[in-house]
Structure 1
Amino acid sequence: MTGPNVTISSDLKSRVAQRLQSECGLTMTDFQVLPGGHSGLTYRVSTSGPDVVIKAVPEGQRSIGRHDMLRQATILQALEHTDVPVPHILTVDEQEPAWFAMEFVAGESLEPVLDDPPVEPTLAAARMRRAAEVLPLLHAVDLASIPGISEPLSPEKELSRWAKTLGAVPPELVVGGDTLLALLEADIPEPITPTLVHGDYRLGNILSQGLESVALIDWEIWSTGDPRVELGWFLVFADGSNFPGVGREVPGLPTEDELVALYTGGSSNLPDQKWFNALGRLKMAAIMGHNLRRHREGRHHDPDQEKLPATINRLIETGTALLRP
């Protein structure tokens, strides 16, 4: 089903059908919107062979920013021969509005502390541990093998970006955010060797089959930077108590120390990791504050946003507690 407000461009359907036939020898038999895609347009295409996923730039737009499908295709192609699990790219059409086709990978991409249906706790814990073991595979990728790599983001630059996001939110929606920001600004860690970072690494962006992570998806904000930024963000989702009112506590999830030890291969100590854990909380609070502001201003009506204040407060409080002497 495509949903009441989603239309499918006949031009895109025609382009996809022709290219899949000419480039891949596949005859298209069905073309449907794939729920859950947030970057550009995402479709599931049935063919005479395997199912295919299409990621496309919206009609009338170009491959820029979060709609940059060519950039997403570039990183997926670069990772195809690494240990990072990613879908295989079948073909890329650079004609604007651009699109690419990749294999359909079956699996669940569910955030245990946030998404429905709930994941059985033992399975959720096993998937989270496996994700912590996969993350260093991503951070071990040779940056020289990635075309068009950009200048790495230092912790200082990363914080500056999120300070702007926080500053655009009315203070009453992020109470205490200024205090947490000041603590972060007061003691910014020195950067370590930069790595490839996904930008939103968590179970909600990993397709899992049983216990195994089979595909890391949604690459719209990949970059290079300090790997501890990515780890700090991942750890936010390891504790359901971070999300009162909107999430759930899942018994038996691994602790932050255990996940860090799995990531490092033994040590639960990374330099300044508490700072990066606090940064992850600031980032989430800023994002939620931004979404709540848009709802209250009538720019994007969503009554569920009214559930966010308790979570925003919790994230700011716990982030502040991590950094206070």
Structure 2
Amino acid sequence: MIDLATLLSTFMTRIAGNGGLGGLARLSGGANMESWAFDWGEQAYVLRRAPSAEYMADRPYGHADEAALVMAAHAAGVKAPEVVGVLTEGDGMGTGYVMRRVIAEVNPAKILADPPPSLLADLGRELARIHAIPAAAIPDAIPLMNTVDALAELKARFLSYGGDRPLVALAIRWCEDHLPPPAEPVLVHGDYRMGNVMVDSDGLAAVLDWELAHRGDAHEDLAFGCMTVWRFGRIDQPVFGVGGLEDYFAAYEAAGGVKVDRARFHFWLVYRTLWWALGCLQMGQMWRSGADPTVERVVIGRRTAEQELDLLLLLETGAPEGERARPLPPATSASAEPAGEPTNREIVQAVRDWIEGAIKPASQGHAKFEAVVAMNALGIVLRDLDAGVRAEDMELAAALLAGTTTLAEPGLLARLRRDVLDKCAVDSPKYAALAAARADWRG
């Protein structure tokens, strides 16, 4: 375990002069990187870091190039953080960089409870600014995305994870059949969504988390923030949970963005939902391999069910009308009440209650976040033990991937609807799209 406070103090003295370290605290969340807030003298900063170079090994570029990109965006007038220093190997803190801290809200629930009136237009304008960053200003290490190759890589990952999720297979096949022609490449942020933007009373204050940036199709960025999962419960507001598509597109185009192609936008909405489904599965693999032993990884691994639900909602329009009107099979019956010695379910419940009553109240900061994640993990196990629902079907997935089975097959859509409703009810029962789909499908 490194002495982060001492090492960070040495680093800040070198880049900013004497100041004195205060308020060092890890920020909650962060699916991939650590973020640490701290004060140095009278100024507020954030350290963004990975614990080691090995943690960055599978990424197309490292933190030095990421920092250079953020600096280029900031210089181009984008509301990107101001980078003040980049870690080197000799600093002993892994890889990363330090930014001036933006004082604004990042929590989606708080932002969406009362979004400033300009926010939707701000989001469209800022994305147009990102896409307008001159190619010459973009670091050479930032890769160009080839959609054909990227889709093939997703397919290979799916097969390496077992190839047994029918809705993932259905989405891969649909994307293969609906690939758009290449677009003029722009800088794509790659993670432009609620949760990665900061907002204050005046509107959009900062765009964070540039680690997935690449050169590619502008529509990928346009679609990503419109995924159901990034609306954080406000599913009736398709853009970031804030507003409607036409207003978003109009603001983007008015600020100089490319003319929005609705079919291309829909392709990227399906593709990025598929991408995140596989990203969730990958989180589970990271835990299994020991690359990241945190409980958060296994919990995110079970969020695949959310994306499978969303994929079916995006793709079911391709089924014949008669299949879309077909009633669903009955839901799985509940388990019998336990008797005798404590069951597995009761043991799990006891551990969950102990965390809630004894561990969570005594925890602070990231430790409290981890306690909540552990409670969520045990909640999934409790519901799974009751329901006994599984989502895997290798034979059906292979047939959908090959195109020998489609949504035109009698009864298949109804079965997939039932399966995804039951699985999502176990893994993510509070997911807003679940209740909407259940009502729409009469499930």
Give the TM interval when normalised to the shorter protein. 0.7 to 0.9
Cross-structure match for 2:233: 248
Q: 2:250 aligns with which of 261, 267, 282?
A: 261
Q: 2:272 aligns with which of 274, 277, 280?
A: 280
Check whether the contact 2:219–2:268 (CA below 8 A) recurs between aligned residues: yes
By how many angstroms is 1:84 displaced? Answer: 1.0
Cross-structure match for 1:212: 203
One-letter amino acid matched to 1:315: D
Q: For 2:86, what is the secondary structure of its paired residue? A: strand
The whole-number CA distance in structure 2 between the counterparts of 1:181 and 1:124 is 38
CA 1:236–1:58: 2 relative to 1, 3 Å: same
The whole-number CA distance in structure 2 between the counterparts of 1:160 and 1:130 is 35
Question: For 1:198-253, what per-residue CA distance to the aligned partner results, in whole angstroms no more than 9, with x for missing partners?
Answer: 1111021011112522211112221111111222212114885xxxxxx5235554
Q: Does 1:79 align with 2:73?
A: yes
Task: Identify the range of structure 1 (200-209 vs 59-68) with the bigger mean alpha-carbon deviation.
Answer: 59-68
Check whether the contact 1:84–1:138 (CA below 8 A) recurs between aligned residues: yes
Q: For 2:176, what is the secondary structure of its paired residue? A: helix
Q: Does 1:101 align with 2:90?
A: no
Check whether the contact 1:89–1:101 (CA below 8 A) recurs between aligned residues: yes
Q: For 2:166, what is the secondary structure of its paired residue? A: coil
Cross-structure match for 1:313: 308
Cross-structure match for 2:432: none
Check whether the contact 1:282–1:319 (CA below 8 A) recurs between aligned residues: no
Check whether the contact 2:37–2:47 (CA below 8 A) recurs between aligned residues: yes
By how many angstroms is 1:95 displaced? Answer: 2.7
By how many angstroms is 1:103 displaced? Answer: 0.3
The whole-number CA distance in structure 2 between the counterparts of 1:125 and 1:290 is 37
Cross-structure match for 2:25: 32
Alignment map for 1:93-242 (pairs within 5 Å): 93-96=87-90, 97-111=94-108, 116-117=109-110, 119-120=112-113, 122-123=114-115, 126-172=118-164, 174-237=165-228, 240=231
Question: For 1:35-88, what per-residue CA distance to the aligned partner results, in whole angstroms no more than 9, with x for missing partners?
Answer: 234443321221212111112331575764459321221111222211211111
Q: Does 1:55 align with 2:48?
A: yes
By how many angstroms is 1:295 displaced? Answer: 7.6
By how many angstroms is 1:272 displaced? Answer: 2.3
One-letter amino acid matched to 1:316: L
Check whether the contact 1:108–1:209 (CA below 8 A) recurs between aligned residues: yes
Check whether the contact 1:202–1:237 (CA below 8 A) recurs between aligned residues: no
CA 1:285–1:125: 2 relative to 1, 3 Å: farther
Cross-structure match for 1:16: 8
Check whether the contact 2:193–2:230 (CA below 8 A) recurs between aligned residues: no
Q: TM-score, normalised by structure 1?
A: 0.79
Q: Point out the structure with the larger helix share.
A: 2
Question: For 1:239-275, what per-residue CA distance to the aligned partner results, in whole angstroms no more than 9, with x for missing partners?
Answer: 85xxxxxx52355542233322322239664562221
Q: TM-score, normalised by structure 2?
A: 0.60
Higher relative contact order (CA 8 A, sep 6+): 1
Check whether the contact 1:295–1:305 (CA below 8 A) recurs between aligned residues: no
Check whether the contact 1:289–1:312 (CA below 8 A) recurs between aligned residues: no
The whole-number CA distance in structure 2 between the counterparts of 1:62 and 1:304 is 20
Task: Show structure 2 runs of 5+ residues with no match.
Answer: 321-443
One-letter amino acid matched to 2:315: T
By how many angstroms is 1:137 displaced? Answer: 0.7
Check whether the contact 1:133–1:263 (CA below 8 A) recurs between aligned residues: yes
CA 1:287–1:24: 2 relative to 1, 3 Å: same
The whole-number CA distance in structure 2 between the counterparts of 1:265 and 1:171 is 43
Cross-structure match for 2:374: none
Q: For 2:75, what is the secondary structure of its paired residue? A: coil
Q: Which has the larger radius of gyration?
A: 2
By how many angstroms is 1:277 displaced? Answer: 1.8
The whole-number CA distance in structure 1 between the counterparts of 2:31 and 2:302 is 21
By how many angstroms is 1:158 displaced? Answer: 2.9
The whole-number CA distance in structure 1 between the counterparts of 2:139 and 2:28 is 30
Q: For 1:254, what is the secondary structure of its paired residue? A: coil
Total equivalences in the alignment? 305
What RMSD in Å do the two structures reach over aligned CA positions? 3.3
Cross-structure match for 1:88: 82
By how many angstroms is 1:138 displaced? Answer: 0.4
One-letter amino acid matched to 1:69: H
Task: Identify the range of structure 1 (294-303 vs 250-259) with the bigger mean alpha-carbon deviation.
Answer: 294-303
